[in-house]
Structure 1
Amino acid sequence: MTPIGIILGFAVIFFAIYLAGGYDSFLVFISFSSFIIVFGGLFASLFVGFGAKEVGSMLKVLHTTFRRKEVPIQDFINNLVQLARTSRIDGMIKGLERERERTSDPFIQKGLRLVIDGYEEDMIRKIMEMDIRAMEKRHARGQQLITKAGELSPAWGMIGTIVGLVLMLQQLDNPGELGPAIAVALITTFYGVITANLVFIPIANKLVLLTEEEVFLKEVVIDALISIRNNEGPTILKDKLQMFLTESSTQEPMIIDDYAGEGAHEQK
């Protein structure tokens, strides 16, 4: 829904411009110099403050936010219950080894490996929760970078406006040019404010929610794997996970890709 929201926001703005000034008024809001100042200055500031590697990860965050894969939580629970069913039918080691090779989720793969290797319940939970904490730190870096971009965009818009006003003052001997010059100067602020409040800040807020959802899903996985390790049946596991879902949220969280940083899950 992120692309739809951004497109809707721009559509509202463009429609308001059209109502106020007609079709020709759109051309007034096109300024390549303003675009260069806002976005060029923004990325320059981010490079100085965070470095090229972190800025590259921000681009990955934005890309993943737009293309993230969504799976209903009920289907996710059914897949976990299927793991328990397979371990009952084919035996824990043989069945879970087959499921480990079949799944594409590195977190589940790691958990199944721990169960197959015979780790104790407390150790499984400890190792898996360490993985979750590491994921939260990676995500926090991405969120911090996007949030900072939202803070810097209006500032660079104001810088562009100041530059435009200085250039405008050089044309005081030509009053007929002052109106268009002021308009061009203010467009830079317009670009900065729109970029911050329609793109960066909303995406940063959304990333916080996505992290909370992913942490919730990984905690569900941990509970499921420990139940399987303790030889609990598929029916009992399904009831437990359904209760967990009901108590934790009234909404349906979605599975998302690990969006921040490289090397998120190196284990198999």
Structure 2
Amino acid sequence: MSLYFIGLGLYDEKDMSVRALEVAKSCDILFVEFYTQKMNLNIKNLERTTGKKIKILTRKDVEENSEILLEPAKTKKVGFLIGGDPFCATTHTSLRQEAIKRKIKTYVIHGSSIFSAIGETGLHLYKFGSVVTIPFRDKFGNKLPLSVYEKIKENIDRGLHTLILLDIDAEKNKYMNAKEGIETLLDMEKRKKQKIITEDSKIIFFTRAGSTNSTIFYDKIKNIAKRDLGEPPMIIIIPGDLHFTEKEYLEVFRE
């Protein structure tokens, strides 16, 4: 029958759009994943909001056992709840592709995501370059993710801002914090020695976007490293060439 990809929005169940909530309530079966984005919600609150029982899926369920979603979608209206916007995480594109191949109708209900929320930092969206993610080192035998460094350098050379996502491992309840992110950036600089990320470099931390206690920090790395930025989720932005309006806005958040 149909498979709906439903964006939950940025922070909690209250970020669902009216359309997202209406569609979720009308579905015969609801699934949700929490592995692509940390959200401040639990399954009970989400079930209370939608009025439905919801099954939590792991990354392995979705990527290796997609039949759990596709089989019931042949005859029922199935909803797949996803943090942020459904296709900001490319892991879900293959699922939709497979559904279409099987003649299952698919629909997308978009939600707010970090990619729209970064406008809150005052940076011009058209001046962002490639997005990168700092992964947990233990995923790669404690090796430094030097490809991340190269992408940041490419952006800086072009005068573009770099949005840096920090890794999560929801199944292990691991969420990279500010300290880990900064240490990895500085360790990459020590290895590459191209002086694009130093303790005197100014960076932006945007924490808990979408919540009532979201915060923007703008300062030199050495100063931010000394501060307690609170709990994840958070992202880092390394600014490129700043327009005067961007500079003026960011100065409001510099202490």
* Structure ID, larger Rg: 1
Q: Looking at secondary structure, tell me which structure has more helix per residue.
A: 1
Pairwise same-fold verdict (TM > 0.5)? no
Structure with the larger strand share: 2
Please report the TM-score for the alignment, with normalisation by the length of structure 2: 0.23
TM-score (normalizing by structure 1): 0.22
